[in-house]
């Protein structure tokens, strides 16, 4: 029978003390890779700096409804968390969006008090990761943003007490990101029709209208006659001549009024509004549709789209079903960068990225329905369209600066 010695008792006691100390010791704080005041990041849009005694530096940023700030970080593969401190003066001022590497999430920030919000994310490969914060409800306030290593709880680190590290080798300005998605608006809305420089127009006031298929009729709109497309097969098609195939840049805009009883801007239906068919030699197409999952979405797809199915979406649930609404779709290639725009009633979003191939032009535009025999599971728009304008320049020069 073995007899324990005093030395063995000392070893066991020391081990117990170490275990107790380890159990009671606070965990080491997560590694902070980036921490900055939001108003000091890049070239933000729609932020107003306000004095806030509770903020870490005594100042914070109040977000407008279309506020936007973006930046990038060079990160290794692994798990990370974005933390930001925020405050909402009231319940109708607490909404904003955060997008990380293309994944978008809506946040409701603390109402009547300052608190932190967290969004965990994972990177599979080394490289730049984009971060975007978008305003939704005017008045929400943000103080600081930080990115830390690991998936951490929202209260694990008080970022107000962390040293600012806004620059460094990891930081990338928004202009250098592979993808940039931001809000935009027309400098003038409604657009000045006498100066829109459209290359082709369609006002549906001729005795004969070419390109109409399926169930349709002529109605009366704010500008005179309009084309009414009905279910199930009403559509309007414009075949573009070779000189107007919009390869490097283009803009298509028109006015729409889906049948009010449908509540097409907010119901659960999948509705199709516009299609641009690729020209010979191009495999890229444009599609504009609305569904409960995507809202109103403009999608560039096909061989060569790069991170394929490049898409812009905008919320339409607040649109008046009785009113006419202006839709604008535009695109542009500058070097290896392609930009898409989608605006409704003068406001919307633009997306910039570097695909494997750019739009090579379009030979046919289809309004109000999916192309025949396309097989897409969408309902037609079912309503009126008017004042179609097609131009060979992008909308860039018409946007508010």
What are the average pLDDT values for consecutive 10-residue runs of the chain, which has 401 residues? Answer: 52 50 64 92 87 86 91 96 96 93 91 96 94 92 95 94 85 84 90 71 88 94 94 94 86 96 87 92 88 85 59 89 97 87 94 74 93 80 96 92 73
Q: Which two tokens stand for residue 241?
A: 């001549």
* Common-topology check for domains 32-176 and 184-398: yes
- Pairing verdict, β 59-75 and 171-173: antiparallel
Measured between alpha carbons, how far is 41 from 167 in angstroms, rounded to an integer?
9
Q: State the fold for domain 32-176.
A: Jelly Rolls (2.60.120)
The reply to whether omega before 264 is within 30° of 0 (cis) is no
Main-chain phi, psi angles of 134, to 5 degrees: -115, 135
Residue 392 pairs in a beta bridge with none
If one looks up domain 184-398 in CATH, what number appears? Answer: 2.60.120.200
Q: Which two tokens stand for residue 175?
A: 């202009």
Domain ranges in the chain are 32-176, 184-398
Per the CB < 8 A criterion, the answer to whether 130 and 75 are in contact is: no
Query: For residue 98, what are the CA distances in angstroms to 84, 123, 278?
Result: 10, 16, 34
What three-state secondary structure class fits 327? strand
Q: Supply the pLDDT for residue 195.
A: 46
Per the CB < 8 A criterion, the answer to whether 118 and 100 are in contact is: no
Largest CA distance in the chain: 113
Nearby residues of 105 by Cβ (< 8 Å), 6 or more positions away: 97, 98, 99, 119
What three-state secondary structure class fits 141? strand
Per the CB < 8 A criterion, the answer to whether 386 and 226 are in contact is: yes
């Amino acid at each position: 029978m073995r007899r324990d010695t005093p030395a063995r008792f000392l070893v066991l006691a020391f081990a117990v003390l170490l275990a107790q100390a380890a159990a009671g010791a606070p965990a080491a704080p997560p590694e902070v890779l980036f921490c900055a005041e939001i108003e000091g990041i890049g070239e933000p849009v729609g932020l107003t700096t306000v004095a806030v005694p509770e903020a870490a530096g005594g100042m914070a940023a109040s977000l407008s409804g279309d506020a936007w700030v973006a930046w990038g970080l060079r990160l290794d593969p692994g798990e990370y968390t974005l933390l930001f401190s925020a405050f909402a003066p009231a319940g109708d001022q607490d909404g904003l969006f955060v997008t990380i590497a293309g994944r978008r999430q809506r946040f409701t920030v603390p109402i009547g008090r300052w608190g932190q919000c967290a969004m965990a994310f994972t990177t599979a490969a080394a490289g730049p990761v984009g971060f975007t914060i978008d305003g939704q409800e005017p008045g929400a306030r943000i103080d600081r943003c930080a990115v830390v290593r690991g998936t951490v709880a929202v209260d694990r680190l008080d970022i107000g007490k962390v040293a600012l590290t806004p620059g460094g080798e990891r930081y990338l300005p928004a202009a250098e990101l592979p993808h940039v998605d931001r809000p935009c608006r027309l400098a003038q809305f409604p657009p000045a029709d006498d100066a829109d420089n459209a290359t082709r127009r369609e006002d549906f006031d001729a005795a004969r209208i070419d390109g109409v298929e399926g169930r349709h009729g002529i109605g009366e709109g704010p500008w005179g006659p309009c084309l009414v497309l009905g279910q199930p097969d009403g559509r309007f098609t414009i075949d573009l001549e070779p000189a107007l195939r919009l390869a490097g840049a283009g803009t298509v805009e028109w006015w729409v009024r889906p049948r009010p009883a449908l509540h097409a801007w907010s119901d659960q239906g999948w509705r199709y509004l516009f299609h641009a068919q690729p020209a010979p030699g191009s495999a890229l197409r444009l599609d504009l549709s609305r569904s409960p999952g995507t809202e109103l979405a403009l999608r560039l797809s096909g061989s060569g789209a790069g991170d394929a199915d490049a898409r812009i979406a905008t919320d339409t649930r607040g649109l008046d079903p009785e009113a006419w609404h202006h839709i604008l779709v535009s695109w542009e290639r500058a070097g290896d960068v392609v930009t898409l725009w989608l605006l409704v009633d003068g406001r919307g979003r633009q997306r910039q990225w570097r695909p494997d191939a750019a739009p090579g032009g379009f030979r046919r535009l289809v309004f109000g329905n999916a192309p025949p025999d396309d097989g897409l599971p969408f309902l037609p728009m079912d309503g009126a369209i008017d004042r179609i304008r097609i131009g060979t320049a992008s909308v860039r020069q018409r946007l508010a600066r």
